[in-house]
């Protein structure tokens, strides 16, 4: 997001200011700082603990004006704040077991019906599957009718959607072994082809499909989606590799990632978390999370850079929304740990 405020409102997924300006270095890095397993465990313990407290209180952080995470009155079209699906999957990916009471509370608040749009359905499929519901046989609270949210998503109109929205749709339909309905308006392969066609000439993606607005957040989401599509077409395979190379070239010497604003790169936790997620999605790039440089001047791993944004309380430093901050950081950590075992955090069992 650059014109970050505008982008944050457009994207259906996740970009918030978590600041710091990139400092260029003319000297090649001589050392490369990585995170030990002990550090990973300690930081994960802190962020998961904070997320559990947020879930227990249904609050987006602990300021006096903190908004609820789940609420039909606060969010009448969805029943939940943007970012809730990453938040839930981040907890799930780090081993958290949701209680029956928590599942019932989330179900009671989510607003899902036959008119729900693609963005709402995509988030719900990921979030509900993360807490243990079957999105193909989901009965909304107060309804006698069971909905197949996956089939409904496949039958949704996804024309004129943002790149991030298309990425979310592709990720959502990849989270389980779902059968594509006969009257589907798209297939995973076709959607992957559409997404690859939106790639800009510098090999990145932009929220508004304009070369001047290419950013690492949108690019990372597109990389995740293309990888999850498992398309074997040459166009998609080439697009994925080019996108990975673009992302690798944009890391700061400090290991962090950011967005452009007034000619400067604003490094932040969410952009760094998105990059970690993208790296962890494919085995050929997971080494760049915490073991290998992607540019010669890089002296810190992205995972180590990400942990610098974690406060002692477990909250995320400078985050405009702790739901986004904690959600994406926990999801990135889970994605990395899962990738080390040759699995994906997005394959939700």
**pLDDT grade for 23, boundaries at 50, 70 and 90:** very low
**pLDDT grade for 2, boundaries at 50, 70 and 90:** very low
Question: Residue 8 is encoded by which pair of tokens?
Answer: 């944050």
User: What are 261's strand-pairing partners?
Assistant: 264
pLDDT at 3 over 90: no
* In a domain? residue 108: yes
Residue with tokens 């006698």: 144
* In a domain? residue 1: no
Handedness of CA 273, 281, 227, 80 (dihedral sign): negative
* In a domain? residue 165: yes
Q: What is the mean pLDDT of the chain?
A: 92
* In a domain? residue 142: yes
pLDDT at 160 over 90: no
**pLDDT grade for 40, boundaries at 50, 70 and 90:** very high
Number of domains in the chain: 1
Q: What is the pLDDT of residue 316?
A: 98
CB 27 within 8 A of CB 297: yes
* In a domain? residue 188: yes
Q: What is the pLDDT of residue 25?
A: 41
**pLDDT grade for 262, boundaries at 50, 70 and 90:** confident
Angle, CA 291 vertex, CA 276 and CA 346 arms, to 5°: 35
Q: What is the pLDDT of residue 20?
A: 43
The range of the structural domain enclosing residue 93 comes to: 15-339
pLDDT at 15 over 60: no
Instruction: Compute the distance between CA of residue 320 and CA of residue 161 in angstroms, rounded to an integer.
Output: 25
Q: What is the CA radius of gyration of the chain?
A: 19
Residue 271 maps to which CATH number? Answer: 1.50.10.20
Dump pLDDT digits (tens) for 311-331: 999 999 989 899 999 999 999
* In a domain? residue 3: no
Dump pLDDT digits (tens) for 179-229: 999 999 999 999 999 999 999 999 999 999 999 999 999 999 999 999 999
Average pLDDT over residues 82-89: 98
Q: What is the pLDDT of residue 24?
A: 42
* In a domain? residue 344: no
* In a domain? residue 347: no
pLDDT at 19 over 80: no
């Amino acid at each position: 997001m650059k014109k970050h405020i505008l982008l944050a409102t457009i994207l259906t997924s996740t970009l918030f200011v978590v600041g710091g300006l990139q400092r260029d270095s003319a000297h090649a890095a001589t050392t490369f700082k990585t995170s030990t397993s002990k550090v990973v465990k300690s930081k994960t313990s802190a962020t998961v603990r904070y997320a559990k407290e947020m879930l227990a209180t249904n609050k987006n952080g602990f300021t006096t004006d903190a908004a609820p995470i789940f609420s039909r009155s606060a969010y009448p079209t969805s029943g939940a704040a943007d970012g809730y699906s990453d938040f839930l999957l981040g907890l799930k990916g780090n081993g958290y077991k949701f209680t029956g009471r928590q599942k019932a509370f989330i179900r009671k608040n989510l607003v899902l019906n036959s008119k729900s749009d693609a963005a709402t359905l995509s988030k719900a499929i990921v979030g509900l599957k993360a807490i243990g519901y079957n999105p193909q046989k989901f009965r909304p609270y107060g309804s006698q009718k069971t909905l197949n949210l996956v089939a409904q998503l496949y039958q949704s109109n996804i024309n004129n959607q943002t790149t991030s929205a298309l990425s979310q749709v592709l990720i959502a339909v990849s989270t389980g072994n779902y059968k594509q309905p006969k009257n589907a308006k798209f297939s995973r392969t076709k959607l992957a082809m559409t997404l690859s066609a939106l790639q800009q000439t510098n090999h990145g993606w932009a929220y508004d499909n304009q070369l001047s607005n290419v950013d690492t957040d949108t690019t990372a989401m597109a990389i995740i989606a293309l990888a999850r599509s498992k398309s074997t077409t040459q166009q998609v395979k080439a697009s994925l590799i080019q996108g990975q190379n673009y992302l690798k070239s944009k890391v700061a010497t400090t290991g962090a990632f950011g967005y452009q604003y007034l000619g400067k790169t604003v490094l932040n936790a969410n952009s760094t978390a998105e990059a970690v997620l993208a790296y962890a999605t494919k085995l050929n790039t997971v080494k760049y999370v915490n073991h290998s440089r992607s540019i010669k001047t890089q002296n810190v791993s992205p995972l180590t850079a990400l942990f610098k944004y974690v406060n002692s309380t477990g909250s995320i430093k400078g985050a405009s929304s702790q739901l986004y901050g904690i959600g994406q950081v926990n999801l990135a950590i889970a994605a990395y740990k899962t990738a080390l075992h040759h699995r994906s955090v997005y394959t939700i069992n």
